[in-house]
Amino acid sequence: MANLEKIYKKFGAYLQGHFLLSSGKHSKFYLQSAKILENPYLAGKLCERLFKIIAKNKIKFDSICSPALGGILAGYELARVSSKRFIFTERVDGVMTLRRGFSVKENEKFIICEDIITTGGSALESTKIIENLGGKVVAFAALANRGFCAVSNLKTQRKKEAKLPSNIPLFTLGNFDFEIYEASDCPLCKEGTKAIKPGSRGN
């Protein structure tokens, strides 16, 4: 299978333009994983590859949990290919919660799965929920890392923005380390274009 960057480009998931990120910073690139995950066959194949990396690293786990919304499709496919249970956390009035009758058993081992790990904030919030209910998070997984967190299998370095605990491994299929700019010091703004929020206006 081609490398992840090629796949993201081929499926229109690697966007180029002038983007306003949820952090408030600006970027020339944006990863729209929905364009990958709208293809269930491809999503399944990518998660098979991710599961192989996890298995090769001898991670034993019982279940997968993803933060809604972005992580759900990737987490569900990873659970399907590994024949594990899948649950998700979701925000209610901004607070991450576990609802819908989902439960966690004492010492149940979890992988927290996202589509893309940026700073890992949502994955960390899901981790706290699992651990407060007696479960244990043994690894993080994602299709791709956005350059901030340390990826165990790719040996990337942790940056100061990273929020994931460094004692739990993160496994991904790729690492995209795009340059990001402060809104006040963005070369794209200086060229006179306006940053758009990804997901709006058809992207």
CB of 61 to Zn ion, least distance (A): 40
Return the residue of 74, 113, 173, 186 that touches Zn ion, per CB under 5 A. Answer: 186
Q: Which of 136, 188, 196, 203 binds Zn ion (CB under 5 A)?
A: 188
Asked if 133 contacts 103 with a C-beta cutoff of 8 angstroms, the reply is: yes
Nearest residue (CB) to Zn ion, 75 versus 198: 198
Closest residue to Zn ion using C-beta atoms: 186
Q: Does 59 bind Zn ion (CB under 5 A)?
A: no
**Of 26 and 124, CB closest to Zn ion:** 26
189 binds Zn ion per the rule CB under 5 A? yes
Nearest distance from C-beta of residue 75 to Zn ion, angstroms: 32
Part in contact with Zn ion (CB under 5 A); list of ranges 70-78, 110-118, 127-135, 180-188: 180-188
Instruction: Kindly tell me which of 133 and 189 has the beta carbon lying closer to Zn ion.
Output: 189
Task: For Cα atoms 27, 50, 36, give the angle at the middle one, nearest 5 degrees.
Answer: 50
Binding site for Zn ion (CB under 5 A): 26, 186, 188-189, 195
